Structure 1
Amino acid sequence: MTETFLPPPPDGTGGPRERAAANGVETARAEGAAPFVRTCVRAVATELPGGVWPAEAQPSPEPLLLPDAAVPVDALPRLLVSHGCWYPSVDPDGRHVAFVCDRTGVPQLWTGPLGGDDVHLLDADPHPVVEVSWSPDGQWIAYTTAPGGGEHTRVLCVRPDGTGRRILAGGEPGGSAHLGCWTHDGSALAVTVAGTPRGPAARDGRTALLTAPSHPPAAAGDPAAAAEPLPRTLSAYLVTPDGSAAPVLLASERDAASLRVCDVSRDGRLVLLRRGPRGRREALVVRTHDLRVTCEMPVADGDPWIGAFTPDARLLWLRSDHAREHAALYAVTLDRQGRRLSLSVAAERDDSGLELLALDRDGRSAVLSWNVRGVSELEVAAPTAPDNAGPSRAVPLPHEVVTKVAVTPDPDAPVVALSGSLRRPGVWWLPQGTALRTPWSSRDEDVAPGSHPPVRPVPMRPVARDGLDLGGWYYRAPGRPPTEPAPCVLHLHGGPEEQERPVFDPLYHELLGRGLDVFAPDVRGSSGYGRSFVDADLGRGRFAAIDDVADCASHAVLEGPADPHRLAVMGHSYGGYLVMASLVWHPYLFRTGVPVCGISDFTTFFAGTEPWLARSAAYKYGHPERDRELLHELSPMSRIDALRVPVLAVHGEHDSNVPPGESEQFVRAARERGVEAQLLVLRDEGHDFRRADSLRTFRRTAADWIQRHLAD
């Protein structure tokens, strides 16, 4: 067992950018740039629902040229046979795909043909790749990486042949950047950069500011400047991949939870933004010539790519749960200024939500992925009018869950990333409904080489003590008689708005191989069951979510084969919080718990987390000042004296979403009370574990721990 404690993070990271935008004005003058890239754009203060675009923006990004890092496949060390491929993006001809693959042990950027196995590794750096986007002109591939496995990401681009690699945004120390859309001609890429007006923000142990100050920030050199935490700013820019034109400011917001550019109209007049905290996402239409918001509308959580304009920008297709339980396809008609004229539902389902929306490059057809109680259903539709999505065709799928859709020039031949309970994540081509696995994705028979076969789960429908219907999936350990009581691990997902899906999870596979059943429930707050279910855990509803864990354990015992005397609980992120909470609210229910990257005290969490995450968390959990008493009641540390069972806490070294101190203080307090507790810290990992060696260590350590404590 590896045990370690990390020292608290130093005060402050990074320094101010050397070059700032002068008076918030950015002008691009390079010849050959798109017309709207050459336009001078000013950052003006514009009234918004609940806020204002501030006049000062985060300093614009500067491209940084990097050495080429493409590597021939035959020069790589032995590749993993059982690997995953995901997040595909197709070139303009529809023949090649850029994607993320972990066949070297870390998620990296690869390209390959749809019909061949001649794949290329375009960036051999060890920084995990998160998102990928091929430019519409085919000249560049943009992608996001997480240096050191942490949460501060950066945006890069590279030529399809592996040359010209450069950082476009997020390259400064302590900075962070996020990928937006390409302009339709491929001349510019939208990026969002995070920081303060005077450089990357430093956390000082005080609660992150959640609203803009009511007075102007103190000037540099003023003693008040050192005493007052700086507001965090998110700013969106258009940048040219080769640096031939100056960045163009599109939007900027203080104390923002999120800000992503999802589409730019073909004439450059309008921009579609997604903004706001979890549970209160908004779509905004912004005029580029004055940055004024002309239309706003609530949109669903989940996939950030919420929609797109038609070629004439008179219609906006949007995935939204506006005034409804489940997300649907909306048609928003716009006038020349981008103001909303009408709103109608173009495609909907009664009991399931639209999860993924991808429109072709002409805006005349769409691929819709619906979430039907955790399983995906795919269809190709032809939107023909605001109130009619036109004829649609169902596309059969070889596996249960679609995680990404990429359109090709042929509207009936999308490329999708698929996951399933019996396979690793892979990329499939679906021409005219025929499912073709790409040759560079793992074969189904290679999902778990040299071990027991994967297990297909069965759905379970627990009922909470207050009558609310819950959900989940039960995995039965292979070789065990159907009625024999089995040791069982409840695994709780993160979010809270994530959803348990029937996909192959190597952690579950490890536990099942030890003879342990796994029950993965969806407690209140999970997605996939409608807006009311997602919001059922807000405020004091969090106490009911903690009770849901106990009710799910009871259901696994009464309706399934779980042994009531051999139960364990584990979970990641919000699931890690629920593990800690369950152990102190229901101290005699489980024999042990494994919280992973979990919150143990909301006061210390709000003091240490990223400011934009604090903004979202305040809506979900409560405001750190106005709801201080509630957050204290909800914090597992407030009831630590009730802890009775051994705990193994796991955390990523560079996690700045839920800092490692949350696990450290829980383990320390448990030990002080004589309870067995250990802490596993994974090096070069953040909030999400991405490296094969780290994941292997985590799985084996957690399974060893649980197996030992559930032994008869």
Structure 2
Amino acid sequence: MAADARNRLTGGVTDDVGDDGTDRVIDRMADGVREREPDGVRDGPVDGLPQGPSGGVRGRPARGAADRAAWAAAPAAVALADAPGGREVPRPLTAHACWYPSADPSGERIAFVCDRGGVPQLWTGPAYGAGAEGPRLLDAGPDPVTEAAWSPDGRWIAYTVAPGGGELTRVLCVRPDGTGRHIVAGAEPGSSAYLGCWAPDGSAVAVTVALPPGGPDGPPAEDRPGGRDLLAAHLVDPDGVRSPVLLAAERGAATLRVCDVSRDGRLALVRRGPRGRREAVVVRTADRSAAAELRVADGDPWIGRFAPDGRTVWLRSDHGREFAALLALRLDAAGAATGLSVAAQRAECDLELLAFTGDGRSAALAWNVRGASELRLVDLAGSVPAADGGDAGRAVGLEHEVVTRIAPAGAAGAVLALAGSQRRPGVWWLPGGGAPVRTGWSSRDEDAVPPGRPPVRPVALRPVARDGLALGGWYYRAAGPDGGRPAPCVVHLHGGPEDQERPVFSPLYHELLGRGLDVFAPDVRGSSGYGRSFTDADLGAGRFAALDDVADCVAHAVLAGLADPARIAVMGHSYGGYLTMASLVWHPELFRTGVAVCGMSDFATFFAGTEPWIAESAAHKYGHPERDRDLLRSLSPMSRVDALRVPLLAVHGEHDTNVPPGESEQFVRAAREHGLPAELLVLRDEGHEFRRADNRRRFRRSAADWLERHLR
């Protein structure tokens, strides 16, 4: 979630709300790094407003409708009963996954998300060795956990849960022993809350709240096309002693996440903007004014961190570049930009993840190298490196192909979440100067799948589109008696569109391969990992070329002798679900069937039904629902449903408010009206992502049954 006022659905280029309730225009600097001095904001403490929980952070008077609404609807804590944690789940899943690690200040214990009990839950475990206690379940509640962050003072663990498996989330805090559990933000009916960073001293945690319709001082619900139009970021005291402190508030927002707060509390680093137009904003906490702004890369929301002295902010950015690098943005005492240099870069590779050691002296950088990860440790030495950056740092050997998260552990160590084609996701401890060591509570490689059918290691394919653009992807070959003969193939299309196919173990792919079906997972234009121009190549009318890319990828697999042209299916989730429906009506001659999962079938109904901040972000990718109405209609699968010729299975989570279930319902209904076999599988207690083990199994088996029936 973030807000980029340059792409408001209401139009206009704006950044903030003025004293008169109107929006103010952003000033731009010639080199792309922008600053703005405080405008009409009073300095000094204000009677009746709270002192911030971090030094120098104070409340300020509301400057307009957005600020007034944000102040009036600041998150309120709600106490909960202590969770029955501190114990092992009986009969845990052997092939479980662990991810999203966060270490305590000493680096000796790790909080993480794990599905060993059948649903993603909050656990802790020792960073190294078996430990006297082993892993401990901290919250045994039924709601899936998505993120976790241990406080710098070690007293609290903040985490995000998705009630009912839906898209509206809450932020909770719990003590490391499982006591004191309470809702920090998101308890208000219809609201949603997202986790930000901790204040450096652990006295406050940043949260972003999406306010419900008709919130305080906001326009009535009937005047808000999407139902919500305000995001507000606060610093919240987990002990509930101090009042929340407002850091930022924006109307018509797409995302708004607080990524760091300087050690003296004067500055906050905020990520905002829709997909493809993310920005890092250095905010003066005293008056919430933007001191400097710089474009940053899509992907992981944790874009950077302040140096210990607050005079440099390290950023994962593709500002003025094809591929993201580590940039050093130098700041003056007021937080305004004074210079920009490259600290680390790799040729033809994106900087994908970064984390900084607890002492701030070094950084761990994960580079995306043609879909796999390379990890390097870089010594920051407390100063800005030379402008050429280069391929500096110590390489760290990895047992598996992809790093999914890096977090500091102690003064000089780190913890890594790794995934690969031969294993389930797990967590590794990286001691300072050492090699990664798998934590004892992460599943073993040999437990990734039941014995007898090992995971398939994919091979890279490089199709070429009809206009000459080089594409990418991975091909998984099913074992079977046919040997090297062309096989039935499922073309699986990822979501995003900015996601990227990675060589990681997929239980869905494993299920399909076990049925004798090959899987080809291509990266069509719009995917990440191939440079900014490739990611932006599908914007607007460029989406027609992305639809042709699907057909060109099919042709590549057929001409390579891998796929049987008479037995090809198409399948995908989210944007991949849209591409599935669109491919079936644009290229009906290519496919025997399709499985569309949580996909958009009509952009008009999608924009009307999705969350407003999602609509704000999607408008940049697909087109504006008003200004580009004709384009969106022509790109919608429903506009060409008469061309559908093959059976279809649609799958959707009942609580999906990202892509509402009506998108699948109307496409299935239209297919049936044309006399075609079409079914809709609705998964209970799920949203846009399927998180519960029983639902994931049902989805995999239902999809595989459908595809096997129509391809074998």
Partner of 1:278: 275
Equivalents in 2 of 1:610, 1:242: separation in Å? 31
Partner of 1:457: 458
1:395 matched to 2:396? The reply is yes
How much has 1:559 moved relative to structure 2?
A: 1.4
- Check the 8 A contact 1:375/1:401 in 2, yes or no: yes
Partner of 1:169: 185
How much has 1:592 moved relative to structure 2?
A: 0.2
Q: TM-score, normalised by structure 1?
A: 0.90
Which runs of structure 2 are paired with 1:423-442 in the superposition (5 Å)?
423-431=423-431, 432-442=433-443
Partner of 1:569: 570
- What secondary structure sits across from 2:577 in the alignment? helix
How much has 1:406 moved relative to structure 2?
A: 1.1
- Select the residue among 350, 354, 359 that pairs with 1:357: 354
Q: Any idea what the Cα deviations from partners look like across 1:545-602, whole Å, max 9, x if unmatched?
A: 0111111111111114110100011000000000000000001100000000000000
Equivalents in 2 of 1:323, 1:53: separation in Å? 32
Equivalents in 1 of 2:47, 2:233: separation in Å? 13
Equivalents in 2 of 1:136, 1:290: separation in Å? 25
Residues 710 and 253 of structure 1: is their aligned pair in 2 closer, same or farther, counting only changes over 3 Å?
A: same
- Select the residue among 299, 305, 308 that pairs with 1:302: 299
- Check the 8 A contact 1:622/1:630 in 2, yes or no: yes
- Check the 8 A contact 1:29/1:245 in 2, yes or no: yes
Q: Any idea what the Cα deviations from partners look like across 1:504-534, whole Å, max 9, x if unmatched?
A: 0000000000000000000000000000000
- Check the 8 A contact 2:233/2:257 in 1, yes or no: yes
Partner of 1:16: none
Equivalents in 2 of 1:483, 1:82: separation in Å? 31
Partner of 2:380: 383
Equivalents in 1 of 2:429, 2:218: separation in Å? 53
- What secondary structure sits across from 2:327 in the alignment? strand
- Check the 8 A contact 1:197/1:233 in 2, yes or no: no
- Select the residue among 141, 160, 174 that pairs with 1:144: 160
The AA in structure 2 aligned to 1:295 is: A
The AA in structure 2 aligned to 1:369 is: A
Once superposed, what is the RMSD of the aligned Cα atoms?
1.8
Equivalents in 1 of 2:336, 2:51: separation in Å? 29
Which runs of structure 2 are paired with 1:194-205 in the superposition (5 Å)?
194-196=210-212, 198-199=214-215
Which runs of structure 2 are paired with 1:254-333 in the superposition (5 Å)?
254-333=251-330
- Check the 8 A contact 2:367/2:373 in 1, yes or no: yes
How much has 1:71 moved relative to structure 2?
A: 2.6
How much has 1:199 moved relative to structure 2?
A: 2.6
Partner of 1:9: none
How much has 1:72 moved relative to structure 2?
A: 4.1
- Check the 8 A contact 2:191/2:212 in 1, yes or no: no
Q: Any idea what the Cα deviations from partners look like across 1:291-312, whole Å, max 9, x if unmatched?
A: 1101000000000000011111
How much has 1:364 moved relative to structure 2?
A: 1.5
- Check the 8 A contact 2:166/2:656 in 1, yes or no: yes
- Check the 8 A contact 1:300/1:321 in 2, yes or no: yes
Residues 459 and 25 of structure 1: is their aligned pair in 2 closer, same or farther, counting only changes over 3 Å?
A: farther
Partner of 2:63: 44
Equivalents in 2 of 1:643, 1:426: separation in Å? 42
1:244 matched to 2:278? The reply is no
How much has 1:691 moved relative to structure 2?
A: 0.5
The AA in structure 2 aligned to 1:427 is: V
- Check the 8 A contact 1:26/1:41 in 2, yes or no: no
- What secondary structure sits across from 2:473 in the alignment? strand
Equivalents in 1 of 2:481, 2:373: separation in Å? 30
Partner of 1:94: 107
Q: Any idea what the Cα deviations from partners look like across 1:179-228, whole Å, max 9, x if unmatched?
A: 0000110000000000158439xxxxxxxxxxxxxxx976x7xxxx7456
Partner of 1:186: 202
Residues 90 and 57 of structure 1: is their aligned pair in 2 closer, same or farther, counting only changes over 3 Å?
A: same
Equivalents in 1 of 2:348, 2:414: separation in Å? 25
Equivalents in 1 of 2:664, 2:556: separation in Å? 29
- What secondary structure sits across from 1:180 in the alignment? strand
Which runs of structure 2 are paired with 1:105-116 in the superposition (5 Å)?
105-114=118-127, 115-116=129-130
Partner of 1:28: 50
The AA in structure 2 aligned to 1:35 is: G
Partner of 2:613: 612
Q: Any idea what the Cα deviations from partners look like across 1:86-112, whole Å, max 9, x if unmatched?
A: 000000001000000000000000000
1:417 matched to 2:417? The reply is yes
The AA in structure 2 aligned to 1:656 is: T
Equivalents in 2 of 1:363, 1:644: separation in Å? 59
Equivalents in 1 of 2:495, 2:255: separation in Å? 18
Q: TM-score, normalised by structure 2?
A: 0.90
The AA in structure 2 aligned to 1:364 is: R
- Check the 8 A contact 1:42/1:249 in 2, yes or no: no
Equivalents in 2 of 1:56, 1:167: separation in Å? 21
Partner of 1:70: 84
Equivalents in 2 of 1:315, 1:276: separation in Å? 22
Equivalents in 2 of 1:365, 1:517: separation in Å? 43
How much has 1:383 moved relative to structure 2?
A: 1.4
Q: Any idea what the Cα deviations from partners look like across 1:94-151, whole Å, max 9, x if unmatched?
A: 1000000000000000000012251110000010000000000000000000111110
- Check the 8 A contact 1:56/1:197 in 2, yes or no: no
Q: Any idea what the Cα deviations from partners look like across 1:296-347, whole Å, max 9, x if unmatched?
A: 0000000000001111111110110000000000001100110000001110
- What secondary structure sits across from 1:449 in the alignment? coil
Percent of paired sites with the same residue: 68
How much has 1:25 moved relative to structure 2?
A: 9.2
- Select the residue among 114, 120, 125 that pairs with 2:141: 125
- Check the 8 A contact 2:373/2:402 in 1, yes or no: yes
Q: Any idea what the Cα deviations from partners look like across 1:598-648, whole Å, max 9, x if unmatched?
A: 000000000100000000110000000000000000000000000000000
Residues 620 and 226 of structure 1: is their aligned pair in 2 closer, same or farther, counting only changes over 3 Å?
A: closer
Equivalents in 2 of 1:337, 1:78: separation in Å? 56
How much has 1:435 moved relative to structure 2?
A: 2.7
How much has 1:430 moved relative to structure 2?
A: 2.4
- What secondary structure sits across from 2:139 in the alignment? coil
The AA in structure 1 aligned to 2:118 is: G
Partner of 1:660: 661
Equivalents in 1 of 2:84, 2:149: separation in Å? 17
Equivalents in 2 of 1:176, 1:228: separation in Å? 17
- Check the 8 A contact 2:485/2:561 in 1, yes or no: no
Partner of 1:469: 470
- What secondary structure sits across from 1:40 in the alignment? coil
Equivalents in 2 of 1:29, 1:503: separation in Å? 47
Equivalents in 2 of 1:228, 1:393: separation in Å? 52
- What secondary structure sits across from 2:384 in the alignment? coil
- Check the 8 A contact 2:198/2:260 in 1, yes or no: yes
Partner of 1:443: 444
Equivalents in 2 of 1:619, 1:486: separation in Å? 39
The AA in structure 2 aligned to 1:191 is: V
Residues 342 and 642 of structure 1: is their aligned pair in 2 closer, same or farther, counting only changes over 3 Å?
A: same
How much has 1:363 moved relative to structure 2?
A: 2.0
Structure 1, 642-651 or 476-485: larger mean CA deviation = 476-485
Equivalents in 1 of 2:262, 2:87: separation in Å? 39
- What secondary structure sits across from 1:511 in the alignment? helix
- What secondary structure sits across from 1:455 in the alignment? coil
Return 5+ residue gaps in structure 1 as ranges: 1-23, 46-51, 201-215
- What secondary structure sits across from 2:171 in the alignment? strand
- Check the 8 A contact 2:55/2:266 in 1, yes or no: no
Q: Any idea what the Cα deviations from partners look like across 1:384-440, whole Å, max 9, x if unmatched?
A: 3323369610000000000000112243x3210000000000001123342311110
How much has 1:495 moved relative to structure 2?
A: 0.1
Equivalents in 1 of 2:462, 2:586: separation in Å? 23
Equivalents in 1 of 2:77, 2:652: separation in Å? 33
Structure 1, 65-74 or 297-306: larger mean CA deviation = 65-74
